[in-house]
Amino acid sequence: MSKARIGFIGLGNMGGRMTKCLVAAGHPVLGHDTAADRAAACGATAAASVREVVAGSDYILLSLPDSRAIEAVVEGPDGVLAHARKGQVLIDLSTAAPSSTLRLNARLAERGVSLIDAGVSGGAAAAEKGALTLMVGGDEAQVEAARWVFAPISHKIFYMGASGAGHTAKLLNNFLNAVSLAATAEVMVAGKKAGLDLQLLLAALNNSSGINFATLNRFPKIVDGDYLEGGLTGKLMTKDVLLYIDCARELGVASLNAAGPLASFGLGTALGYGDQISNRVVDAIGDMSGGVRLHTATGNKP
């Protein structure tokens, strides 16, 4: 087992679960979060500040909401850059703007610190089991050297290329996820209103050209009343779509399909579902379609 020390900043929905997996694999973790009780809850040793994590770690992992939060942790007056030392490795497991990642990579390199951007996919359920898929960017030799860090939290690692490539791949994935979830939610509400057997409809879709992650993995549960709570919220899904749009604009790619998920998850937030799992977008669409609920036990919303 490597003697290199691991620090983790951001112990929320995903970071906390990843930390638990690292600890369970025998790796002590020095953890910091704005909610002080989270470190103990996931088995980490609590650090009072980012500075303390940097001082006590060789590999510093981040799982933060967005690039603004990442930049504050890295570039803040008492942040990573202020206290980093040559040879440290920063692994950013957040969903972030690739342009920000590239800029931070350049700044960290000046201090002799390597940045690996590792977009994660699989949600809370995969994080709980240490079965995430990682899309990784950065220096290939550093990525190879960090595989022991990735092993307890992932079951598939895709090296996508140089700095920023991991976060770019993550945004592309999340955009497709948003499109398929929003579109499938609409289709399932339509199927309910048409009087179709929803399990039979899903079986037909999953053996036809409409098959996607939502039809395979989300809606077979949702139609039975299980919304798979604990995953990405509607507001965070909207954030990811907006990050994708910015990325597409910077690449000079026409973004013609973003209006649907933006409207759908925006509606969800407007109707009070924004802080709940993004799967609740189906209830927002149902609300606007006559109070429809897919679950047979609840039927239509009163």
Structure tokens at 151: 């092993």
> What mean pLDDT comes out for the span 227-233?
90
| pLDDT higher than 70, residue 296 | no
What topology is assigned to 6-161 in CATH? Rossmann fold (3.40.50)
Pick the CATH number of 169-287 from 1.10.1040.10, 1.10.3710.10, 1.10.1370.40, 3.40.50.720: 1.10.1040.10
> What mean pLDDT comes out for the span 108-129?
95
| pLDDT higher than 70, residue 302 | no
Structure tokens at 235: 């507001």
**3-class secondary structure, 106:** helix
How confident is the model at residue 297, as a pLDDT?
A: 63
Single pTM value for the model: 0.93
38-43 LR contacts (CB < 8 Å, sep 24+)? 38/11, 38/12, 39/11, 41/11, 41/16, 42/11, 42/16, 42/17, 43/19
d(C-alpha 196, C-alpha 206), whole Å: 15
Percent of the chain with pLDDT strictly greater than 70:
97
Tens of pLDDT, residue by residue over 65-90, are: 999 999 999 999 999 999 999 999 99
pLDDT bucket at 203, cuts 50 / 70 / 90: very high
How confident is the model at residue 2, as a pLDDT?
A: 60
Domain positions in the chain = 6-161, 169-287
Per the CB < 8 A criterion, the answer to whether 161 and 103 are in contact is no
Is residue 170 flagged as an active site residue?
Answer: yes
d(C-alpha 31, C-alpha 43), whole Å: 9
d(C-alpha 298, C-alpha 292), whole Å: 9
Cβ-count burial 244-274 (b if 16+ within 10 Å, e if not): bbbbbeeeeeeeeebeebbebbbbbbebebb
Per the CB < 8 A criterion, the answer to whether 91 and 119 are in contact is no
Among 20, 170, 192, 235, the one annotated catalytic: 170
d(C-alpha 269, C-alpha 3), whole Å: 45
Per the CB < 8 A criterion, the answer to whether 298 and 225 are in contact is yes
* Mean per-residue pLDDT over the chain, rounded: 95
How confident is the model at residue 230, as a pLDDT?
A: 83
Task: Give residues with Cβ within 8 angstroms of 255, minimum separation 6.
Answer: 244, 245, 248, 249
